[in-house]
Structure 1
């Protein structure tokens, strides 16, 4: 029975693909976490309100005039062309206060001491303590405005925590990338070990380095692409499971950015496959016959 001929580059593809897929999946998962963390913080920022308390005794014309002046400011968030400036009467504010505290202050005060107000949601770019302080100072200069209230230091706390999250995830991703390169170099080098005499034979019959490298590099690119596609599929599968299990998670999804992330994982897989194969091949192409043994 004739022996099956070995093809150029016929080394343990499955082992390489599994190793690379696992590493690419972890990198892609980190990217997904960063994307959704950023979206979550963006939603939190857009839902934090600045309360503009109005002077007592204003008529409807004065109240409407303040609203027009507020809407004209660039810091006001617009959703589908609608400025997020909402009027709350002092009666609404009283009902909200009683619902939150379970205490009816009107029973012993005999009147409602609260003010009519506008609740303003801000553009994300203005969510910094220095900018919030400027907004507070500018709005309080408007005629008919009693006071501007917001949660001080909240912006800096959120921004600092967000920076820490990004640093941790970015560090993890970089570490994983280094591990991938080292792992793939060693794995492909071991895989090419069985091909070292074939490489030497091709050199002896006059084959150029480019001719010898080409089939191996193509194989490395295919391995990387397959690994990237599998990793991308696993990321999408994990995301779909999470969407079914976690209520409200769909609000964090940005499918255009997810598409770029998955494309990046696939391209990264191909690049790592090619570069790792190229580096491992260079070692065997430079070896003398004694070293091969």
Structure 2
């Protein structure tokens, strides 16, 4: 009997190993899409918050008035960062960017002082920016408000399109993941069908029979998820080592990545337990002759 039990254990272990690897690969695929979604969201925020809005001031506005207006704008909920650019600073920047000192040629500085700020991503859309622009038009010291409207419209259009595509991919892949994991677990349980039926025939209750398989499913699901997470960490590390993108450090979001990893662990354990329990109940309901 002992030898038989050892033989049975050896036969069943490869099926567990293959199911663990299979589930880990599927979770890794889902996690890769999750990382893409997180990075895409961070990229959209990064580009939106890079749009600069210029509040151009009139020539008769004094520096003290401009500073007071800047402090007032800085307290607005939509402002992420802000700076005051005087006429002299604007001329210096023009000279640095284009290499021409037009003030000596013209004899005066035709540029205007401005208050430049970058808005939070939630406000970088046509409707919100229009409301912000209208609020500044009522201020006497403001000459005009300038920003790249075409860029803002294009950004929001691309974000909507990418969002729809990613949503569709997530739904399809989630269904594929559930089906693949379920089939992988069912195939792994197929080799244990006679053991399950034998335990039932000697009088074991359904809970007694299902309990060790459910516990094993929890362990297998956790191992699969951890293997997938290790793979995803490797992908993140390689990506950050190989790619040198401007502002890439700002795209890190450890909180969302942590939530993704917890979700993979929960999904791996949940589907493994559910599929395993369903398989055990299925074989318990079957007749002995139907198992062959």
For normalisation by structure 2, the TM-score amounts to 0.87
1:225 aligns with 2:227: no
Q: Is the 8 A contact 1:139 1:148 kept in 2?
A: yes
Provide the C-alpha distance between the structure 1 equivalents of 2:47 and 2:137, rounded to a whole number of angstroms.
25
Q: Is the 8 A contact 2:12 2:191 kept in 1?
A: no
Residue of structure 2 aligned with 1:28, choices 27, 31, 40 = 31
Paired position in structure 1 for 2:139: 142
Residue of structure 1 aligned with 2:68, choices 37, 40, 65 = 65
Q: Using the TM superposition, give the Cα deviation of residue 24 of structure 1 relative to its aligned residue in structure 2, in angstroms.
A: 0.6
What are the residue-to-residue correspondences of 1:72-87 with 2, within 5 Å? 72-77=75-80, 84-87=81-84
Paired position in structure 2 for 1:126: 123
Paired position in structure 2 for 1:267: 266
Provide the C-alpha distance between the structure 2 equivalents of 1:251 and 1:65, rounded to a whole number of angstroms.
31
Provide the C-alpha distance between the structure 1 equivalents of 2:8 and 2:36, rounded to a whole number of angstroms.
43
Q: Is the 8 A contact 2:35 2:257 kept in 1?
A: yes
Structure 1 alignment gaps of length 5 or more? 78-83
Q: Judge which range, 280-289 or 67-76, deviates more.
A: 67-76
Paired position in structure 2 for 1:253: 252
Residues 290, 231 of structure 1: CA spacing in aligned structure 2 closer, same or farther, 3 A cutoff? same
1:180 aligns with 2:182: no
Q: Is the 8 A contact 2:26 2:180 kept in 1?
A: no
Q: Judge which range, 11-20 or 35-44, deviates more.
A: 35-44
* Counterpart secondary structure, 1:113: coil
Q: Is the 8 A contact 2:196 2:280 kept in 1?
A: no
Q: Using the TM superposition, give the Cα deviation of residue 98 of structure 1 relative to its aligned residue in structure 2, in angstroms.
A: 5.1
Paired position in structure 1 for 2:44: 41
Q: Using the TM superposition, give the Cα deviation of residue 231 of structure 1 relative to its aligned residue in structure 2, in angstroms.
A: 0.7
Per-residue displacement from partner, 1:3-46 (whole Å, max 9, x unpaired)? Answer: 53424993511111111111111111211122222222222222
Structure 2 alignment gaps of length 5 or more? none
Q: Is the 8 A contact 1:220 1:270 kept in 2?
A: yes
Paired position in structure 1 for 2:8: 6
Q: Using the TM superposition, give the Cα deviation of residue 223 of structure 1 relative to its aligned residue in structure 2, in angstroms.
A: 1.0
Name segments (4+ residues, structure 1) moved above 6 Å. Answer: none
Count of residues in Structure 1 that have an aligned counterpart in Structure 2:
287
Provide the C-alpha distance between the structure 1 equivalents of 2:231 and 2:262, rounded to a whole number of angstroms.
13
Provide the C-alpha distance between the structure 2 equivalents of 1:62 and 1:179, rounded to a whole number of angstroms.
62
* Counterpart secondary structure, 2:112: coil
Q: Judge which range, 16-25 or 54-63, deviates more.
A: 54-63
Q: Judge which range, 184-193 or 252-261, deviates more.
A: 184-193
Provide the C-alpha distance between the structure 1 equivalents of 2:259 and 2:158, rounded to a whole number of angstroms.
26
